[in-house]
Amino acid sequence: MKTFLRIIGALIVVCLAALLAFIFVPVQRTAPTEELAADWTPEAGQGEYVMYASDCMACHTAEGGEPFAGGRSILSPMGTIWATNITPDKETGIGNWTLDDFRAALYDGLTPDGRHLYPAMPYENYRKLTEEDVRALYDYFMNEVPAVNNPVEATALSFPFNMRFGIRAWNWIALSDPAGSAYEQSTPQERGRYLVESAGHCGACHSPRNVFMGQDGLTADDANFLKGGEVDGWLAPALMGEGSAAATWPVGEIATYLATGRNSHSTANGEMSMVVEHSLQHLTDEDNLAIAAFLKGEDVGEATLLGTDLALEEAENDHPTTTMLTEAKDLSEGARLYLDNCNACHFVTGKGAPEIFPELAGNSLVTADQTGPLIGIILHGAEVPSTEKRPMRLVMQGYAERLTDEEVAEVASFLRTAWGNDAPAVTAADVAKVRAADSAH
Amino acid sequence: MTDLPGLPSRRSFLKATAAGAALSGLAVSAKARTAEPPVPLDQYQPEFFTPAEWTFVLAATARLIPSEGDGPGALEARVPVFIDREMMGGYGAAADWYMEGPHQPDADPFRGWQTPLTPAEVYRGAIPVFDAWCQQTHGGAFAELDAAKQDAALTALQKGEVALDPTLKDFFSILLQNTKEGYFADPMYGGNHGMQAWTFIGFPGARANFKEWVPRYNVEYPLGPVSIKGERA
Amino acid sequence: MARQEKKKDVVIVGLGWTGSIIGMELAQEGLEIVALERGHDQDTVPNFQYPQMIDELKYGVRLGMMQKPRQSTLTIRRNLEESALPYRSLGSFLPGNGVGGAGTHWNGLNWRPMLAEYKLRSHVEQNWGAGIIPEDMQLMDYPVTYEELEPHFARFERVAGISGNAGNINGQIIEGGNPFEAPRSSDYPMPAMPSTYDGAKFAEAAKSLGLHPFARPGGIASTSYVNEYGMQMGPCNHCGFCERYGCYQYSKSSPQTAILDALRKKPNFSYRTGAEVLRVEMAEDGKTATGVTYYDEAAQEEVFQPADLVILAAYQLHNVHLMLLSGIGQPYDPRTGQGVTGKNYAYQMNGGYTLFYENEVFNPFIGTGANGFSIDDYGIGQIDFGTEGFIGGSYISSGQSNGQPIRSMPLPAGTPAWGQGWKDGIKKWYGHSMSIGSHGSHMAYRNNYLDLDPTYKDRHGRPLMRMTFNWHDNEVRMTQFMREKIRPIAEALKPDSMQDAFKKQGQMYDVRPYQTTHNTGGAIMSETPDQGAVNKFSQAWDKHNVFVMGAGNFVQNTQYNPTGLVGGLAYHTAQAIRTQYLSNPRPLV
């Protein structure tokens, strides 16, 4: 008994020591994955390009704020995370950071003083960046971004999420992959893989989350990689494999969507429209094609982005829904509401029109389990941002004023069963919830 | 129910208010969001028109688009409400128009609106003159006359046989124009109540998309109208 | 003392079609450009959005998208003896307002003039002799040729996104297109729109009479479309709300769908709204402009905007008004025939038949601004002027554009305008008629011109512009000829009844009913400085850094809707500025 107690006592001491060590012993930073010459300098524009590919702008620039001066709030279930100032300001930004400090943030989610970053910063993915890209990015932030003195509100999450050492435990699981893996980038598919798994951090939204809320799938070697996730109530659809858009769209169409937020089938909404605006439209056609080729598992071949000076015929179909809407007789409430409110652009075929009016037939947003985005778009509309190759800002107006909750539910439910779509109905209560949540914003 | 003094087509007016009340329920029942049914026309408090003017407008529009036969008359469509509201708005005040002098109100009509008066001022100025003409010619103010005499009086007004000051000469044309506007405009402006006028002629209102119908030659379009606010009829 | 803004390379007055085109072309040269638009900013959403745009009262009747006469108008008289009276409320023509200008609310009809129209005076003289030209007709040749303009027409059609079927590609006649059109280098960028029932009936009847119907070309998208700037259109749904409305569907060619979002991305281009230009300022020597003074609506003050290059890209009436106010070109005097600015104002001569069918339905609310079929068999190049006794021509069409009931309610003659008879009539006839219209040329005359009004002033204290205009016998003979030519087509269509409306001899200009917003001339282009205000590159003869865009350049009006020629001339001018003027600013002719 005594022995037993002693053993228990010893175990407690060991555990305490381990816990204290876990909390207080500095964590190791990952070393550079490649030794570059001390005088190595990035090519002109290389750092900015990595910045675009990494979409740093999306989080680190506040609405209407100076670029990268932080202050954007990122809502998480644990509380509000405030994106930091990453301009080279010495007082409020990262002006005092060394390259090693910078790399540690990207690879290990560590600040120079050893604190853990919240994994809203996708260091799970950024740790795959090559040393050259890390250096180029560092060079860009230190030398090309203007310093902005902008103190940002400190993130204050509720207990226990404010215990940052907890992230250390999380990191043991999440960061099991080695940093800066040596990527082959000689073929487009290899280049695409690198961009998707590292800078692009596509998995942050499009991979499911595991029980620890880490990305369930960090690389293409993982079974669930890019098999679809959920972000802020939105379905982030699967990007690879059966049923994914990549499986049905040609490489050129995928690349066009990435570069412009629109293609012959769909338009980008929600978070994705911001990714297009701040990141993907700035990539080269070759890189967007490479990403598309990787996602589809197919060579780029002759594929190109959709060009200009184009007339694109809209698709036809003879689905019973199409026939019913064309005849315009014996209409359900939802079908009648569709004709009165939606048909103008999306047409009786539910096929919309290439590059401008997205397809509703077979649209993952329409049939998603998460009905909030569909309802939200019916109520408040949607907007595709102006991009370099497609400068037109495309806007769908909202119907919050014109349609009641019951009517939105009717029309949404109609969409979810029309043209072969097969998803459960939406209720007026679902609509009321979205309407209330949005008006609370 | 308030008895409107001297409203000769009272029968049709009664029909109008009854139909109007019924229709106000009917028109919104197609839509889940129930709008407040409007006050019956005979209880409507005009914002612009004086009681005497209002009496005239009710009576005159009731002859311009009568209630008899198929389809709504001006009263069922609440055209007078529309005109009253228009008088209070930018149109009544000629807010968009160039109104600087000098004016030449007796110019050839081909030369357009040349009176110094706004449309609202033309109504205000012309109604008493026309009523007085009716009194003198037919023995009663317009609203007190029987339908045949009212029609005769309006015809005289239309033909320019009623001596109006040149500044008022466009009165009949704007009265008729505004009556038709109130009959066919979107119901949110107060007239075309329940989209009855649209239903009557087969205009689908604010639906405004017909791609699949272009090649369907000589086939009657089957759907009733929808309004800007989304009501259906 | 006016506030002064920082100097720009280019100031553009007005941000409609021509302002957007020239803005984009010169922005590509890297110039610092500012456009001044007197109206408000507007875009498809929210300004044209569904369902708010589908409001006949607000936009069709109260003219919500148009210029407000209180802000800007002109006076009109029919002859030199009459005193002009203000155009106090809009009727006969409807100038637009705001970003996009009339390019937002047009019908979309897009044409290139017929070959004979470029050198019309020569065409007449060579074939019939100058003797057939009426004494007061100031018939002129354009100083540009079709060959010079062809690439620019093609460019405009591609940028604007025009649907149509070519009838003549490089001289090869193509079935289904207009066989009488001038040879084009390429087809339209989109196939023609499908037609409604009326247009199809008309086409069949015309064909049976040996005529050559073709789908009417227009800036209405028949498919999805992406132009050279990556700007986009969506396929039209025939909503029936084109003219007087902005398109909620991204389907109508407009600066908004074709150019503006791309132009907004240019860092060297900016624009200011609520900025009404009051006058062009001149250098001491009077040979060049130094910029423009505008009224800043927000600040309620006058602002001087210096610039090296001044582009007048407002509507034709406003361009001419600014020229008269600023001393660009000598004002035209009809008594002496001297002077150039304000000369050769012209309009359009239209007419039409309405055919009634008790037992056929047309669903008139299904339509577009450029719907249906046309024939050009009686176009200006097909007519023997010597035999027929007039100079001119028309294209003839059928295709419903809207069934908006306040304004579009054709009733058989004799139907009362009100009362039981009217009410019965609308029930019986709404949707049971079709129309056939002729759209005809309008020549220039000594006494049809624009100058400054001696009496009336605008809100800034500037004299209003005065229009002197009336119909002439030549155009009436032309339109009566069309009446005779359409009748057999109408009769072949076997209506229950039909009626027509064509101008008659002696008929005076009536400013009240809408006729057309095809006001042309006043800043005409000419071979020599004594004949017109601008040279073939739309450059002011007497102020080489002022270019005047738009239909003011038309020497007389063509038989077509003017936008195609306006667009072609705009690209022609843009090319001249880019390739000839910028490197060496000077008179280009």
Tell me, what's the pLDDT at A183? Answer: 85
The least confident of A202-216, C393-407, C521-535 is A202-216
Q: In this structure, how many other beta carbons lie within 10 angstroms of the beta carbon of residue C426? A: 21
Pick among 3.40.190.10, 3.50.50.60, 3.40.50.300, 3.10.20.30: CATH of C3-581: 3.50.50.60
In a domain, B229, yes or no: no
Q: In the sheet that C497-501 helps form, which strands lie side by side, from edge to edge?
A: C214-215, C373-375, C394-398, C433-440, C349-356, C497-501
Residue A274, classified by CB atoms within 10 Å of its CB into exposed (0-12), middle (13-18) or buried (19+), is: middle
SS (H, E, C) chain A: CHHHHHHHHHHHHHHHHHHHHHHHCCCCCCCCCCCCCCCCCCCCCHHHHHHHHHCHHHHHECCCCCCCCECCEEEECCEEEECCCCCCCCCCCCCCCCHHHHHHHHHHCECCCCCECCCCCCHHHHCCCCHHHHHHHHHHHHHCCCCCCCCCCCCCCCCCCCCCHHHHHHHHHHCCCCCCCCCCCCCHHHHHHHHHHCCCCCHHHHCCECCCCCECCCCCCCCCCCCCEEECCEEECCCCCCCCHHHHCCHHHHHHHHHHCECCCCECCHHHHHHHHHCHHHCCHHHHHHHHHHHHCCCCCCCCCCCCCEEECCCCCCCHHHHHHHHCCCCCHHHHHHHHHCHHHHCCCCCCECCCECCCCCCHHHHCCCCHHHHHHHHHCEEECCCCCCCCCEEECCCCCCCCHHHHHHHHHHHCCHHHCCCCCCCHHHHHHHHHHHHHC
Residue C130, classified by CB atoms within 10 Å of its CB into exposed (0-12), middle (13-18) or buried (19+), is: exposed
Beta bridge partners of B226: B205, B232
Name the strand (E) or helix (H) holding C227: none
Query: Which chain C residues touch A380 with a CB distance below 8 Å?
Result: none
Over range C105-131, report the average pLDDT. Answer: 98
DSSP assignment of B39-88: PPGGG---SSS-HHHHHHHHHHHHHHS-SSSSS--TTTTTHHHHHHHHHH
Question: Cα separation of C162 and C577, whole Å?
Answer: 26
Residues belonging to chain C:
589
Question: Cα separation of C578 and C38, whole Å?
Answer: 26
Q: Is C587 on the interface with B (CB under 8 A)?
A: no
Give Rg (Cα) of chain A. 24
Percent of chain A with pLDDT over 90: 72
Mean pLDDT computed over every residue of chain B? 88
Report DSSP state, residue B154.
Answer: H
The shortest C-alpha distance from C357 to chain B (Å) reads: 11
* Residues of A engaging B, defined by a Cβ cutoff of 8 Å: 325-326, 328-329, 336, 339-341, 343-344, 347-348, 401-404, 406-407
Query: Which chain C residues touch A394 with a CB distance below 8 Å?
Result: 232, 250
Question: Cα separation of B41 and B79, whole Å?
Answer: 10
* Residue with more model confidence, C429 or A315: C429
The shortest C-alpha distance from B218 to chain A (Å) reads: 14
Is a pLDDT exceeding 60 seen at residue C414? Answer: yes
The shortest C-alpha distance from A343 to chain B (Å) reads: 7
Percent of chain B with pLDDT over 90: 84
Report DSSP state, residue C23.
Answer: H
Domain count, chain B: 1
Percent of chain A with pLDDT over 70: 90
Nearest CA among C566, C573, C565 for reference residue C589: C573
Q: Is C27 on the interface with A (CB under 8 A)?
A: no
Tell me, what's the pLDDT at A4? Answer: 56
Contact state of A312 with C226 under an 8 Å Cβ cutoff: yes
Q: 């020239």: which residue's tokens? A: C22
DSSP assignment of C264-301: HT-TTEEEESSEEEEEEEE-TTSSSEEEEEEEETTTTE
Which tens digit of pLDDT belongs to each residue from C338-377? 999 999 999 999 999 999 999 999 999 999 999 999 999 9
Contact state of C236 with B211 under an 8 Å Cβ cutoff: yes
Please name the residue ranges forming H helices in C133-243.
146-160, 197-208
Question: Cα separation of C402 and C408, whole Å?
Answer: 7
Contact state of A347 with B212 under an 8 Å Cβ cutoff: yes
3-state secondary structure of B209: coil
Contact state of C238 with B214 under an 8 Å Cβ cutoff: yes
In a domain, B116, yes or no: yes
Q: Is B211 on the interface with A (CB under 8 A)?
A: yes
User: Is C460 one of the catalytic residues?
Assistant: no
Over range C234-244, report the average pLDDT. Answer: 98
Question: Cα separation of C8 and B222, whole Å?
Answer: 58
- The residue type of A12 is I
Over range C167-174, report the average pLDDT. Answer: 98
In a domain, B224, yes or no: no
Four-residue CA torsion sign, A106, A108, A112, A113: positive
Angle between helix A165-174 and A2-24 (nearest 10):
90
Q: Is C465 on the interface with B (CB under 8 A)?
A: no
Nearest CA among C424, C406, C404, C405 for reference residue C414: C424
Q: 């060619």: which residue's tokens? A: C253
Which tens digit of pLDDT belongs to each residue from C525-553? 999 999 999 999 999 999 999 999 999 99
Query: Which chain C residues touch A314 with a CB distance below 8 Å?
Result: 223-224, 235
Q: What would the CATH number be for the domain defined by A320-440?
A: 1.10.760.10
Please name the residue ranges forming H helices in chain B.
10-29, 51-64, 79-88, 119-138, 147-158, 171-184, 196-201
Over range B53-58, report the average pLDDT. Answer: 98
For residue A43, name the pLDDT band (cuts at 50, 70, 90): very high
Contact state of C237 with A394 under an 8 Å Cβ cutoff: no
- Please name the member of C76, C423, C512 whose beta carbon is closest to the beta carbon of B65: C423
Query: Which chain A residues touch B31 with a CB distance below 8 Å?
Result: 404, 407
For residue B9, name the pLDDT band (cuts at 50, 70, 90): very low
- Closest residue in A to B208 (Cα) is A344
Mean pLDDT computed over every residue of chain C? 98
Which residues lie closer than 8 Å to B10 by C-beta, 6 or more apart?
B4
- Chains near B with 3+ CB pairs less than 8 A apart are A, C
Which tens digit of pLDDT belongs to each residue from C481-516? 999 999 999 999 999 999 999 999 999 999 999 999
The least confident of A68-77, A388-397, B163-172, C317-326 is A68-77
The residue from C123, C518, C544, C572 that is catalytic is: C518
The shortest C-alpha distance from B53 to chain A (Å) reads: 36
Q: Are the C-beta atoms of residues A434 and A372 closer than 8 Å to each other?
A: yes
Please name the residue ranges forming H helices in C28-119.
44-47, 115-118
Contact state of C69 with B96 under an 8 Å Cβ cutoff: yes
Query: Which chain C residues touch B219 with a CB distance below 8 Å?
Result: 361, 363
Tell me, what's the pLDDT at B15? Answer: 38
Report DSSP state, residue C222.
Answer: S
Is a pLDDT exceeding 80 seen at residue A21? Answer: no
Over range A47-55, report the average pLDDT. Answer: 98
- Please name the member of C85, C91, C406 whose beta carbon is closest to the beta carbon of B180: C406
Query: Which chain A residues touch C230 with a CB distance below 8 Å?
Result: 260, 308, 388-392
> Cα–Cα–Cα angle for B113, C470, C369, nearest 5°?
75
* Residue with more model confidence, A22 or A170: A170
Contact state of B206 with C55 under an 8 Å Cβ cutoff: yes
Query: Which chain B residues touch A338 with a CB distance below 8 Å?
Result: none
Instruction: State how beta strands C520-522 and C289-296 pair.
Output: unpaired
Q: 């996009």: which residue's tokens? A: C100
Which tens digit of pLDDT belongs to each residue from A243-255? 888 889 999 999 9
Chain center to CA of A64: 21
Chain center to CA of B171: 13
Instruction: State how beta strands C301-312 and C3-4 pair.
Output: parallel
In a domain, B225, yes or no: no
Whether omega for the bond prior to residue B105 falls within 30 degrees of 0, making it cis, is no
The shortest C-alpha distance from A248 to chain C (Å) reads: 21
Tell me, what's the pLDDT at C2? Answer: 81
Give Rg (Cα) of chain C. 23
Which tens digit of pLDDT belongs to each residue from C284-327? 988 999 999 999 999 999 999 999 999 999 999 999 999 999 99
ipTM, 2 decimals?
0.96
Q: Is C422 on the interface with B (CB under 8 A)?
A: yes
- Please name the member of A325, A329, A406 whose beta carbon is closest to the beta carbon of B32: A406
Contact state of B208 with C69 under an 8 Å Cβ cutoff: no
Tell me, what's the pLDDT at A18? Answer: 58
3-state secondary structure of C371: coil
- Chains near A with 3+ CB pairs less than 8 A apart are B, C
Q: Is C28 on the interface with A (CB under 8 A)?
A: no
Which tens digit of pLDDT belongs to each residue from C121-147? 999 999 999 999 999 999 999 999 999
Chain center to CA of C326: 24
Which positions 167-186 of C are in contact with A (Cβ < 8 Å)?
Answer: none
3-state secondary structure of C97: coil
Give the domain extent around B73. Answer: 10-213
CA distances from A68 to A105, A152, A407, C589 (A): 15, 11, 43, 53
Q: End-to-end CA distance of chain B, in Å?
A: 28
Query: Which chain C residues touch B191 with a CB distance below 8 Å?
Result: none
Report DSSP state, residue B193.
Answer: G
* Residue with more model confidence, A18 or C250: C250
Which tens digit of pLDDT belongs to each residue from B16-43? 333 333 333 333 334 444 567 889 999 9
Q: Are the C-beta atoms of residues C361 and C196 closer than 8 Å to each other?
A: no
Q: Is C445 on the interface with B (CB under 8 A)?
A: no
Is a pLDDT exceeding 80 seen at residue B138? Answer: yes
Structure tokens at B16: 């109008």
Which residues lie closer than 8 Å to A175 by C-beta, 6 or more apart?
A108, A109, A123, A124, A127
Mean pLDDT computed over every residue of chain A? 90
Q: Are the C-beta atoms of residues A155 and A72 closer than 8 Å to each other?
A: no
Q: Is C229 on the interface with A (CB under 8 A)?
A: yes
- Chains near C with 3+ CB pairs less than 8 A apart are A, B
For residue A74, name the pLDDT band (cuts at 50, 70, 90): confident
Question: Cα separation of A28 and A110, whole Å?
Answer: 9
Is a pLDDT exceeding 60 seen at residue B211? Answer: yes
Which tens digit of pLDDT belongs to each residue from C415-463? 999 999 999 999 999 999 999 999 999 999 999 999 999 999 999 999 9
Question: Cα separation of A225 and C462, whole Å?
Answer: 71
Domain ranges of chain A: 41-174, 192-296, 320-440
The shortest C-alpha distance from B39 to chain C (Å) reads: 23
Query: Which chain B residues touch A343 with a CB distance below 8 Å?
Result: 209, 211
For residue A306, name the pLDDT band (cuts at 50, 70, 90): very high
- Closest residue in A to B212 (Cα) is A326
Question: Cα separation of B176 and B157, whole Å?
Answer: 11
**Dihedral angle of Cα B144, B150, B154, B156, to the nearest 10 degrees:** -100
Tell me, what's the pLDDT at A167? Answer: 75
3-state secondary structure of C422: helix
Question: Cα separation of C391 and C122, whole Å?
Answer: 12
Question: Cα separation of A398 and A342, whole Å?
Answer: 11
Which tens digit of pLDDT belongs to each residue from C251-262? 999 999 999 999
Report DSSP state, residue C100.
Answer: T
